[in-house]
Amino acid sequence: MIVKGSALEGFSLLVEDPERRGITASIIRALEDGAHTPEELAGILDSAVSPEACGQLLETMRESGVLGVNQDSEPADLETIWSAFVRYGELPDPSLLRPVTVVSSRDADGVLEGARAWGIPLVVVRPDEINLTDFAPAAPLHNGETDTVALRRDRKPVVHFSFESERAEMYRLNEQAVAAGVPVLYSRLDGVEYTVGPYVVPGQTACAWEAERLWARSSADREQYETLLRHRSSQGHTSSNVVGQAGLSSALAVSLLELSLRGTSERAGTVVHGRSTTHQVSTNSLMRLPRCPVCLPMQPLARNPLY
């Protein structure tokens, strides 16, 4: 019996047939000796074990976590590497990471400190210096095609970071990115509170305008929301303190690593809200709005006439 896992993710349990006790250890030793295929394993093990049985045992061992990494001669795939980071905190080889372009109109060094410590290559540019057409994917993202790993890896990851008083800048970039079909991950620092997400895939997920609109509807009525925006604008840059930057730095580094490695983000259709002073973190799902003025041109010609 082999048990592997963690208290956070749960445990994987593999119980061997008593008649074949020890065969798991034998397979692991055979893999270490250079055997890779079920046929090769069957040749090394007892002749009573068929290649089909070896193949089933290998699949069971991979699913249960006994084989934590790809034992084949080929390097482990990106999803396996990402899973190793999520479950065990194993940072991937820096040579596998692709540059991530961070769009910010102000100094974002404090926020990006965590990502740089992990070896993520970052390119910081101002909103007026970026040409989003250069980041457009090779294949359109809104025509129903399957979003394969190869297509995701061909993307040039883009992240937009802003402070609380820069919503107009976020709206402009959101409109330009949706029109160009460029996926963008949005992040914002609001004093000690921060957000990571949404990751907007034009034509597939809710855009940044929809996320802001849904937040405004759920948090306050119109007068309270407008008063809040006026107060934040009058405060300028003073509320973006060191405490807030430290909390966002670690949260954003995870999404930057995922973008750099996988070419996509789990923040598609979701937003992470956090507060650095109390370590409160919540994840909220976003529902696309049928009358979004930004995404409406991305909708198909045949749609519900009620909208």
Residue 4 bridge partners (DSSP) = 12
CB 70 within 8 A of CB 235: no
CATH code for the part of the protein at 92-285: 3.40.50.720
What is the C-alpha separation between 21 and 266, in angstroms, rounded? 41
Sequence-ordered list of residues with C-beta below 8 angstroms from that of 290, at least 6 positions apart, any chain: 304, 307
For the residues 192-205, what does the mean pLDDT come to? 88
Is 26's pLDDT higher than 60? yes
Nearest to 120 by CA among 42, 59, 58, 185: 185
Tens digits of per-residue pLDDT, 67-101?
A: 654 433 334 588 888 988 988 888 998 888 999 99
pTM to 2 decimal places: 0.66
Task: Check residue 21 and give its pLDDT.
Answer: 53
Is 241's pLDDT higher than 60? yes
Residue scoring higher pLDDT (38 or 108): 108
> Confidence class of residue 211 from pLDDT cuts 50, 70 and 90?
confident
Mean residue pLDDT of the chain comes to 76
Nearest to 72 by CA among 107, 108, 41, 112: 41
Task: Check residue 105 and give its pLDDT.
Answer: 85
Strands 122-125 and 10-14: unpaired
CB 295 within 8 A of CB 203: yes
For the residues 44-54, what does the mean pLDDT come to? 72
Nearest to 182 by CA among 190, 173, 191: 173
CB 251 within 8 A of CB 274: yes
Tell me the range of 15-24, 157-166, 177-186, 292-301 where mean pLDDT is highest.
Answer: 177-186
Tens digits of per-residue pLDDT, 138-189?
A: 655 554 444 555 566 667 899 999 887 678 888 899 999 998 889 999 999 8
Our separate counts of H helices and E strands in the chain read 10, 9
What is the C-alpha separation between 32 and 214, in angstroms, rounded? 54
Least confident segment among 25-29, 30-34, 220-224? 220-224
Which sequence spans correspond to the domains of the chain?
Answer: 3-69, 92-285
233's enclosing H/E stretch is helix 222-235
Phi–psi pair at 151, nearest 5 degrees: -65, -40
DSSP category for residue 98: P
Tens digits of per-residue pLDDT, 117-142?
A: 999 999 999 988 888 888 887 655 55
Is 253's pLDDT higher than 60? yes
For the residues 109-122, what does the mean pLDDT come to? 91
Q: What is the 3-state secondary structure (H, E, C) of 194-215?
A: EEEEEEECCCCCCCHHHHHHHH
